[in-house]
Amino acid sequence: MSAISASEKVDGFTRKSMRKAQKQRKSQGSSQYRTHTAPVELSPLPQLKDAPSTEQQELFTQKLQQCCMLFDFLDSVTDLKSKEIKRATLNELVDYVSTNRGVLVEPAYPEITNMICTNIFRILPPSENPDFDPEEDEPTLEAAWPHIQLVYEFLLRFLENPDFQPSIAKRYIDQKFVLQLLELFDSEDPRERDFLKTILHRIYGKFLGLRAFIRKQINNIFLRFIYETEHFNGVAELLEILGSIINGFALPLKAEHKQFLMKVLIPLHTAKGLALFHAQLAYCVVQFLEKDPTLTEPVIRGLLKFWPKTCSQKEVMFLGEIEEILDVIEPTQFKKIQEPLFKQISKCVTNPHFQVAERALYFWNNEYILSLIEENIDKILPIMFGSLYRISKEHWNPTIVALVYNVLKTLMEMNCTLFDELTDSNTRFPVVFLLSKGKMSLKC
């Protein structure tokens, strides 16, 4: 047993971090290269810029075809020469479509999309780490990135080329293409997801005929994520695209869009990994409410239904989202949900986890929320008073206690009579108890 070092004897867990470190060093995966036949060695073609203009188109096609050859990147020593030739060719192609006009002639479209499909569409490999935690672990990076990156770059330049014609491209960039593109959003490699995000956004913008289809497929991905697998790496990226899509929805909102909000976006809040995409999700929700304020009530009721019961971190996120919603809420909508909402907030301020209590109490620093509370003080004060009063004496965290005093003071200033009534009925201690702490003045 002498082989075991003293530190390991004391703490068996050190081993885990060591194992992790070892793993992370070689954390590269690729499933792009799956052919059993060895690739043919590439030979360099002449530069496009040197070719006479009559032959350029032919050479362009040849180069596209050359780039269809796939290489094994997990083996870093094979085919070095050919890999370099392909890399240089891809660079040249990127350059060619972004700087030249008139290169996107009709016969080039199938060649271009064929090259793109061959290179990027692949079944993603099984995750190296079966319990991959996106918040903790380093992602597995795509080994073939030196080539794949350039192909994505090329696709982007192709879509953005001023000569690009969706009417021709739609024969190749079709539903099947989009479906495969969406599946790639599950990639662990954040660089890849970033490219995909921009590309899908461009496609959504340029291909009107694909829009409904794209929305529906994203829908399906989310529903599968929520109810079946709980695993999809690209939720944040897809939500980011949706944020801009929602922004452009015409009014009145279609039933389909409202259904998406209520049946997909709201249940997305239940996901275990909410932290990874909450900012984007909250943005989408608020976008919807800005478009159509009548959705406020069902949305808030939905959030209350899925309110986290044990996860404080998520509770803080929910409170953040509620504040974002309250920032844009219409006073008439506020009246509709104030009671259930403040019952929840009243539970939050008494939460023993100080971050939850603190986040809830911060609502009282928001001028707009304060004005809403003041308008409805006779409804809200009775809901909040009991919890606030109790916590002012019981909470273990002095910061929370101090915050509660300020909140109580604000509430007292809003309706002194009601406040006194509640103080009398809630406790044997009169308001003097609070005053004795020197935190409040008698005048209100």
Partner 1 sequence: MAGADGDDSLYPIAVLIDELRNEDVQLRLNSIKKLSTIALALGVERTRTELLPFLTDTIYDEDEVLLALAEQLGNFTMLVGGPEYVHCLLPPLESLATVEETVVRDKAVESLRKISQEHSPVDLEVHFEPLVKRLASGDWFTSRTSACGLFSVCYPRVSSTVKAEIRQHFRTLCSDDTPMVRRAAASKLGEFAKVLELEYVKSDIISLFTALASDEQDSVRLLAVEACVSIATLLPQEDLETLVMPTLRQAAEDKSWRVRYMVADKFSELQKAVGPEITKNDLVPAFQNLLKDCEAEVRAAAANKVKEFCENLPEDNREQIIMTHILPCVKELVSDTNQHVKSALASVIMGLSTILGKDNTIEHLLPLFLAQLKDECPEVRLNIISNLDCVNEVIGIRQLSQSLLPAIVELAEDAKWRVRLAIIEYMPLLAGQLGVEFFDEKLNTLCMAWLIDHVYAIREAATCNLMKLVEKFGAEWAQNTIVPKVLGMANDPNYLHRMTTLFCINALSKACGQEITTKQMLPVVLKMSNDQVANVRFNVAKSLQKIGPILDSNALQTEVKPVLEKLASDTDMDVKYFAQEAISVPPSHSSLFTPLAAVILEPQSPQRTTTFSPSVRWKVLAADGATSC
CA 30 to chain centre: 24
Any idea what DSSP says for residue 293? G
Asked if 382 interacts with partner 1 (CB under 8 A), we say no
Binder of partner 1 out of 24, 28, 31, 114 (CB under 8 A): 31
Nearer to partner 1, 18 or 80 (CB): 18
**DSSP annotation string for 337-357:** HHHHHHHHHHHHHT-SSHHHH
Quote the least distance from Cβ 368 to partner 1, whole Å. Answer: 29
Residue 21 tokens, joined? 């470190």
Nearer to partner 1, 146 or 298 (CB): 298
Quote the Cα angle for 61-64-67, to 5°.
Answer: 150
Binder of partner 1 out of 228, 432, 438, 442 (CB under 8 A): 228
Q: Partners of 28 in the beta sheet?
A: 141
- Contact of 307 with 348, CB cutoff 8 Å: no
Quote the least distance from Cβ 280 to partner 1, whole Å. Answer: 21
What does the per-residue mask of binding to partner 1 show for 243-282, with x meaning CB under 8 A? --------------------x---x---------------
Binder of partner 1 out of 49, 272, 305, 437 (CB under 8 A): 305
Asked if 3 interacts with partner 1 (CB under 8 A), we say yes
Nearer to partner 1, 74 or 141 (CB): 74
Which residue bears the tokens 């004897």? 9
Asked if 44 interacts with partner 1 (CB under 8 A), we say no
Contacts of 186 (CB under 8 A, 6+ apart): 124, 232, 233, 234
Hey, which residues between 69 and 98 contact partner 1 (CB under 8 A)?
Answer: none
ω before 52 within 30° of 0 (cis)? no
Contacts of 273 (CB under 8 A, 6+ apart): 134, 135, 230, 235
Three-class SS of 198-242? HHHHHHHHHCHHHHHHHHHHHHHHHHHHHHHHCCCCCHHHHHHHH
Quote the least distance from Cβ 34 to partner 1, whole Å. Answer: 6
Quote the least distance from Cβ 160 to partner 1, whole Å. Answer: 28
Quote the least distance from Cβ 220 to partner 1, whole Å. Answer: 6
Nearer to partner 1, 126 or 430 (CB): 126
Any idea what DSSP says for residue 42? P
Quote the least distance from Cβ 293 to partner 1, whole Å. Answer: 23
Which residue bears the tokens 């002095």? 398
Quote the least distance from Cβ 36 to partner 1, whole Å. Answer: 8
Which range, of 5-13, 271-279, 348-356, 434-442, touches partner 1 by CB under 8 A? 5-13
Q: How many residues does this entry show for the chain?
A: 444
Residues 167, 173: Cα–Cα separation, whole Å: 10
Binder of partner 1 out of 26, 81, 171, 224 (CB under 8 A): 224
Residues 36, 17: Cα–Cα separation, whole Å: 37
What does the per-residue mask of binding to partner 1 show for 115-134, with x meaning CB under 8 A? --------x-xx--------
**Interface positions with partner 1 (CB under 8 A):** 1, 3-4, 8-9, 12, 15, 31, 34, 123, 125-126, 176, 179, 216, 220, 223-224, 227-228, 263, 267, 305
